[in-house]
Structure 1
Amino acid sequence: MRLCLISLDVAPVRSSGLAVYAERLAERLVAGGHEVTMVAARRPGTLPRTVTAGMVVERVAIGRSDWIGYGWHAARHVAQQHARQPFDFVHFLDVHFAWAYRGPFVASLLQSFHQRLTADNGQPYASSVANRAFRRVYYTTAMHLLERPTLYRARALVSLSEATRQEFVTHYGLSERAIALTPESVDTDYFAPQPVARVEPLRQQLGLQGCRVLLYVGFSNPRKGLEYLVAGLDALPDDVRLVIVGQWDAAYRQKVIEAAGGAWNRVVEVGSVPDALMPVYYALADLVVLPSLLEGFGLPALEALACGTPLVATRAGSLPEVIGPCGLLVSPRDTPALVEAISSLLADPTRRAALSVAARARACSHFSAERAYESIMNVYNASGG
């Protein structure tokens, strides 16, 4: 098949987990013998066209309005390419990018604008009062003018989780049969338990000798709930440190620092980390902690499972589906519950060891590349081009 995938970003630029989802799907499709063209936004330092990992990457302008402008430019580019040499399938990896496209397409469902409007106790998640007011207007407008019409034009819709599928069934009037479930996968050879010889140099580099480590991975923005985690650091034992991997929304970082107060000196920020080192970071951690208000899938949770690292997370979106019985789940926005769950696991190494074994087994059995490939190919074949 000749396939076109549309993602806002793809390596070397990753502004969210969507880029990783795009890359992994493309890798599976290329390995399956398909011809893949990836369309992404042209960011500073990137070229208009490259060939990498067996696929063509074509980058288009993004404009000042981020995904809205990108959707316009991507739609024009894909239509022009399709007219020259038709694609068998055009797959927008977030349905919101497809708003301006008028040809047949498949689209992935990640998070709805309804969820974004209500994720923080019935309010939009935000970095400030003013930001909350802006997001309320922005999300409401986008939901009615762009999101809903685009959903009903799609030839096929796919969801990475049952929670996301039910969100669109409940609040957008779609039928369950209209949304295929296509779970993500993880490379369990790459994301795997690591030898001590790889972990100890990193522990020394970060100054974490003698410390127990909590790890958070992700692009830190207001839907990630980090303020509720750092607010409880002072209630944890003195030897506990929080390592934060990933980029920040600048305004949100300040909000999190203020929530931490004097406990901010127990936080280690490492920024973006090379792919080759991520399994070592997961192995470094005693626990991975994901205090999210909303998750469409939660790739860090899946990577942690594959590395055998137990989790403490919220019951937000898809996280319970991914984690299963391999960690402890609490309600979003509940700092005391986070502290209690973290403390109980840190105090029980036997339970952590059992969860580690179960986590690795779950990743291998539930989230294989073969299963993920088969599920998306079933969607393409059923959609009829």
Structure 2
Amino acid sequence: MTSPATAISTPVTSPVVPVHHNNNSIPALKICLLGYRSAPYSGGQGIYLKYLSKALLEAGHEVDVISGQPYPELDPGVRLIKMPGMNLYETGLGSLRWGHLRSWTNIVEWTGKLTGAFSEPYCFGRRVYKYLRHHGRRYDIVHDNQCLSYGILALQKAGIPLVTTVHHPISSDLSIALAAAKDSTERMLIRRWHSFIDMQREVAAKLHHIVTVSERSRQDIAAAFDIQPSAIHLVHCGIDTDVFRPIPEIVKKPYRIMATVSADQPLKGLKYLLEAMAELLPHYPELTLLLVGKPKADGESQRLINELGIGGHIQCVSGISTEQLVHYYNEAEVVVVPSVYEGFGLPAGEAMACGTAVVSSEGGALPEVVGDAAERVPIKDSKAIAAAVADLLNDAPKRQAFEAAGRRRIENNFSWQRAAQEMAVLYTKVIDSENR
């Protein structure tokens, strides 16, 4: 087996497929997208890379994606350049081999994990800079997906046209996690894991071109990184409405609710949904919750499930295909998005595109996504979630009105084709500014 240290200098690539013809006024570009971990089931950043790269390809551009593990699922026409790291969150600290010690980057990644830090963004930045220092000139633009590492800043200093997407400031995650911590030891560990934020703050302040996915994120990034909001470009995410769609032959399962959350992240608000579930069950004993995301056996979410005695009404799935996810959205009567904060809120948009009624918190940018086409509730309010779910379960005409309104809203307002077009316009402006 090739060690990460060896593989870094010889990235594995998938076959190059000719790009589609570009029919718009923007010339075909050679674009390189970066993601330090990019599997769709790893979170919104992987979904962003998957669909933005596909839409850019369909618009006539040549697109490569450089990613660390876990690797993304990409359109066949998008070339994947694998930039393997040590992947310690899957392989564990015991995976260290003597060959790894030939690379300073590997040593940093391993010792970071050993001491409770999250070193992947820093280490990916070092690896990708080493690669693009030799191969970057073949691209018209490099687009970083929230790595925000010193290596990315070095690419800008080397004169490579660069755009960076910041979905939301991770300082928001830190504040929410600290507020949910049980004691000083847990707060210390949380601060240690989030220590990479200092690097991101320093890098963001020096980047020339930042783009984000919602107006709320633009304001929050500006405040967190001390940047003028007007200096941050806004390009909303899209939803692939050909993939996420109503499937008439799938029958709704009575009293099935669904949530797509990272089970043990306080940011995602699962605690409040579980409490709402416990409040609803005495009135709706047939109620079931399909949870996309598996709680850790010793984590807070599982502890709360056990404490509330609701485990028999919860089914957890993880690592599922997009097709299976769409099937689940179509089966649910109600999808709940209980997040305390979202930079955009893809699960809400996906559920609405599938024609399923949504109960959404007002965390972060979620009101921008759902508008008046979903039941909206305050953040951290389990009673409000329970009341909203009960309202939709009891009122079929209202639920069906939200199903139709949600689909219309996503079709009319959030398109990856439009996102790709707006991004290509931004790319050309950045390229022109760097060539002056």
* TM-score bracket, shorter-length normalisation: 0.7 to 0.9
Q: Deviations over 1:218-242 (max 9, x none)?
A: 3323121112211222221212111
Q: Partners in 1 of 2:141 and 2:295 — Cα distance? A: 34
Structure 1: stretches of 5+ with no match in the other structure: 204-210
Query: Structure 2 counterpart of 1:257, which letter?
Result: I
> Relative to 1, partners in 2 of residues 1:42 and 1:355: Cα closer, same or farther, differing over 3 Å?
closer
Query: In the alignment, which of 116, 122, 132 is matched to residue 187 of structure 2?
Result: 132
Query: In the alignment, which of 102, 119, 126 is matched to residue 176 of structure 2?
Result: 119
SS of 1:186 mapped into structure 2: coil
Q: Partners in 2 of 1:67 and 1:131 — Cα distance? A: 23
Does 1:159 find its partner at 2:212? yes
| Partner in structure 1 of residue 79 of structure 2 | 56
Q: Partners in 2 of 1:367 and 1:136 — Cα distance? A: 35
Q: Partners in 2 of 1:190 and 1:214 — Cα distance? A: 21
| Partner in structure 2 of residue 234 of structure 1 | 278
Contact 1:213 1:287 in 2 (8 A): yes
Query: In the alignment, which of 40, 47, 60 is matched to residue 20 of structure 1?
Result: 47
Contact 2:168 2:212 in 1 (8 A): no
Corresponding residue pairs, total: 363
SS of 1:325 mapped into structure 2: coil
Q: Partners in 1 of 2:421 and 2:75 — Cα distance? A: 23
Query: In the alignment, which of 125, 143, 148 is matched to residue 91 of structure 1?
Result: 143
Q: Partners in 2 of 1:158 and 1:254 — Cα distance? A: 37
| TM-score for both structures, normalised by structure 1 | 0.86
Q: Partners in 1 of 2:180 and 2:62 — Cα distance? A: 39
> Relative to 1, partners in 2 of residues 1:67 and 1:364: Cα closer, same or farther, differing over 3 Å?
same
Contact 1:227 1:255 in 2 (8 A): no
Q: Deviations over 1:46-99 (max 9, x none)?
A: 79xx996212211223243333322322232222321xx432111111143565
Higher Rg of the two aligned structures: 2
- How far 1:298 moved relative to its partner? 1.5
> Relative to 1, partners in 2 of residues 1:14 and 1:240: Cα closer, same or farther, differing over 3 Å?
closer
> Relative to 1, partners in 2 of residues 1:193 and 1:127: Cα closer, same or farther, differing over 3 Å?
farther
Does 1:347 find its partner at 2:390? no
Q: Partners in 2 of 1:334 and 1:383 — Cα distance? A: 43
- How far 1:322 moved relative to its partner? 0.7
> Relative to 1, partners in 2 of residues 1:77 and 1:369: Cα closer, same or farther, differing over 3 Å?
same
Deviates more, 1:269-278 or 1:345-354: 269-278
Spell out the pairing of 1:59-74 with structure 2 (5 A cutoff).
59-62=82-85, 63-64=109-110, 65-74=119-128
Contact 2:35 2:147 in 1 (8 A): no
- How far 1:34 moved relative to its partner? 1.4
Structure 2: stretches of 5+ with no match in the other structure: 1-28, 86-108, 111-118, 157-161
Does 1:80 find its partner at 2:123? no
Query: Structure 2 counterpart of 1:267, which letter?
Result: I
Does 1:171 find its partner at 2:228? no
- Runs of 4 or more above 6 Å deviation: none
> Relative to 1, partners in 2 of residues 1:294 and 1:249: Cα closer, same or farther, differing over 3 Å?
farther
| Partner in structure 2 of residue 206 of structure 1 | none
Computed over aligned residues only, the root mean square deviation of the Cα atoms, in angstroms, reads 2.5
| Partner in structure 1 of residue 257 of structure 2 | 214
SS of 2:367 mapped into structure 1: helix
Q: Deviations over 1:274-329 (max 9, x none)?
A: 21222221111111101112212121111111111111121111111111111122
SS of 2:60 mapped into structure 1: coil
Q: Partners in 1 of 2:301 and 2:383 — Cα distance? A: 21
Contact 1:116 1:124 in 2 (8 A): no
- How far 1:25 moved relative to its partner? 0.8
Contact 1:95 1:150 in 2 (8 A): no
Query: In the alignment, which of 241, 256, 268 is matched to residue 188 of structure 1?
Result: 241
SS of 2:352 mapped into structure 1: helix
Q: Partners in 1 of 2:251 and 2:406 — Cα distance? A: 19
- How far 1:128 moved relative to its partner? 7.5
| TM-score for both structures, normalised by structure 2 | 0.77
| Partner in structure 1 of residue 368 of structure 2 | 321
Contact 1:294 1:317 in 2 (8 A): yes
> Relative to 1, partners in 2 of residues 1:248 and 1:78: Cα closer, same or farther, differing over 3 Å?
farther
Q: Partners in 2 of 1:324 and 1:153 — Cα distance? A: 34
SS of 1:79 mapped into structure 2: helix
Contact 2:125 2:149 in 1 (8 A): yes
Query: In the alignment, which of 37, 43, 50 is matched to residue 9 of structure 1?
Result: 37
SS of 1:232 mapped into structure 2: helix
Deviates more, 1:128-137 or 1:262-271: 128-137
SS of 2:376 mapped into structure 1: strand
Q: Deviations over 1:212-265 (max 9, x none)?
A: 111011332312111221122222121211101234455344344345x21121
> Relative to 1, partners in 2 of residues 1:21 and 1:174: Cα closer, same or farther, differing over 3 Å?
same
Q: Partners in 1 of 2:233 and 2:274 — Cα distance? A: 37
> Relative to 1, partners in 2 of residues 1:114 and 1:307: Cα closer, same or farther, differing over 3 Å?
same
SS of 1:155 mapped into structure 2: coil
| Partner in structure 2 of residue 148 of structure 1 | 201
Report percent identity of matched pairs.
27
> Relative to 1, partners in 2 of residues 1:195 and 1:40: Cα closer, same or farther, differing over 3 Å?
same
SS of 2:263 mapped into structure 1: coil
> Relative to 1, partners in 2 of residues 1:98 and 1:218: Cα closer, same or farther, differing over 3 Å?
farther
Contact 1:316 1:332 in 2 (8 A): yes
SS of 1:110 mapped into structure 2: coil
Query: Structure 2 counterpart of 1:34, which letter?
Result: H
Query: Structure 1 counterpart of 2:237, which letter?
Result: E
- How far 1:116 moved relative to its partner? 1.8
Q: Partners in 2 of 1:357 and 1:127 — Cα distance? A: 42
Query: Structure 2 counterpart of 1:108, which letter?
Result: T
Contact 1:199 1:280 in 2 (8 A): no
